[in-house]
Amino acid sequence: METNGDKIKRTFPNLTREMSLNPQKVSIQSVRIDTEAAEKKIGRKSLVHYDPDVIGFLRRCDNNHQAEEIISFLEKRGEITDAFAHKLRQQLRKNGLRSFGPKKEEGYYLKVAKP
């Protein structure tokens, strides 16, 4: 009996090979300093399947130590590159934690997503 996985492998052999060779990553190409523009860019509709990026996680931090832990964790998992992690650390040291945007308090997304 053929499973769905076997059918997909047979139908899309190159796609299956590529998916097994490459880790699933999402690269982040920029950091927004203008928080108002960033908030407008996210918008309410995009919150439906919103998955926070490194900046979203950093904006939940209370202090620089927590931010360093977040950066190290995402770097270790390969979710951000070493170079991007270095840039984030530089920004953190030079401009402070709130340079990534105002703190996102508990329930932030529930408040933002209200119609």
Residue 103 lies in a domain: yes
Classify residue 22: in a domain, yes or no: no
The whole-angstrom separation of Cα 65 and Cα 44 is 31
DSSP for the chain reads ---HHHHHHHH-HHHHHHHHHS------------HHHHHHHHTTGGGTT----HHHHHTT-SSHHHHHHHHHHHHHTTSS-HHHHHHHHHHHHHH-GGGG-S---TTHHHHHT--
Asked whether residue 66 is domain-assigned, the answer is: yes
Is the confidence at residue 10, as pLDDT, over 90? Answer: no
Domain that holds residue 48: 32-112
Q: Is residue 6 part of a domain?
A: no
* Residue 56: predicted pLDDT: 86
Is 27 inside any structural domain?
Answer: no
Residue-wise pLDDT tens digits, 11-65: 888 877 777 776 666 666 556 667 676 666 655 555 566 677 899 889 889 999 9
Q: Is residue 18 part of a domain?
A: no
The reply to whether 99 falls in a domain is yes
| Total domains in the fold of the chain | 1
| pTM for the model | 0.56
**Domain for residue 19, yes or no?**
no
